[in-house]
């Protein structure tokens, strides 16, 4: 069973058909929608501010979602994939976004719908990634617009696959 812990009078809330790995940690003011999954060693810390997640959000192994006390909340839309070991901190991520493995998204970043943040990218504080764009590098910069094939083949495929993968672990 995942570590799901109250903090400062707030307990995590989740929708239907969610799955949490046994060693996932979800703390405090965290609200998530339906069909979300939080994978092995992932941490979602709503201790210092709120974290809101839509439907079909997957937080992959070792990822951390956090925010800044009395400054920034974290808001994730629907169909958002947070890659292995990514750090998502005090930012807004709209629907249908892929945050790549090992990437870092800092406070006050705003990632518009249909975008990809490449593996290992570092979005500096206050960066805005426009809809349908791909960002890569350190510091991250827009490298191109996303093609319809890449959008379907990566962003949507990964979000849908993680709903399927989590089903493999749910008790029947």
Q: Does some domain include residue 163?
A: yes
Give how far Cα 78 sits from Cα of 8, 22, 98, 107, 144, Å. 27, 24, 11, 20, 23
Range of the domain at 57: 3-167
| Two tokens, residue 86 | 């990514």
pLDDT digit string, tens, across residues 91-111: 999 999 999 999 999 999 999
Q: Does some domain include residue 67?
A: yes
Per-chain mean pLDDT for the chain: 97
Q: Does some domain include residue 108?
A: yes
User: How sure is the predictor about 172, in pLDDT bands with cuts at 50, 70 and 90?
Assistant: low
Q: Does some domain include residue 107?
A: yes
- CB contact at 8 A, 155 and 98: yes
Q: How many domains does the chain have?
A: 1
CATH of the domain at 47: 2.160.10.10
Q: Against a cut of 0.75, is the pTM above it?
A: yes
pLDDT digit string, tens, across residues 124-171: 999 999 999 999 999 999 999 999 999 999 999 999 999 999 999 987
Q: Does some domain include residue 121?
A: yes
Q: Does some domain include residue 60?
A: yes
Return the bridge partners of 52, or none. Answer: 31, 75
Q: Does some domain include residue 68?
A: yes
Average pLDDT for residues 46-50, to the nearest whole number? Answer: 98
Q: Does some domain include residue 172?
A: no
**What is the C-alpha separation between 148 and 86, in angstroms, rounded?**
24
The alpha carbon of 128 is separated from its chain's Cα centroid by a whole number of angstroms, namely 16
């Amino acid at each position: 069973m995942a570590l799901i812990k109250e903090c400062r009078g707030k307990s995590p809330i989740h929708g239907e058909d969610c799955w949490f790995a046994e060693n996932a940690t979800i703390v405090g003011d965290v609200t998530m929608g339906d069909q979300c999954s939080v994978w092995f060693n992932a941490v979602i810390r709503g201790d210092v501010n709120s974290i809101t997640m839509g439907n079909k959000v997957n937080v992959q192994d070792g990822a951390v979602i956090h925010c800044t006390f009395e400054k920034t909340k974290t808001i994730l839309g629907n169909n958002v994939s947070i890659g292995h070991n990514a750090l998502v901190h005090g930012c807004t991520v709209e629907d249908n976004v892929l945050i790549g493995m090992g990437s870092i998204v800092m406070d006050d970043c705003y990632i518009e719908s249909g975008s990809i943040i490449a593996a290992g990218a570092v979005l500096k504080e206050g960066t805005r990634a426009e809809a349908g764009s791909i960002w890569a590098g350190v510091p991250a910069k827009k490298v191109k617009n996303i093609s319809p094939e890449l959008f379907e083949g990566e962003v949507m495929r990964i979000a849908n696959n993680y709903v399927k993968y989590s089903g493999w672990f749910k008790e029947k």
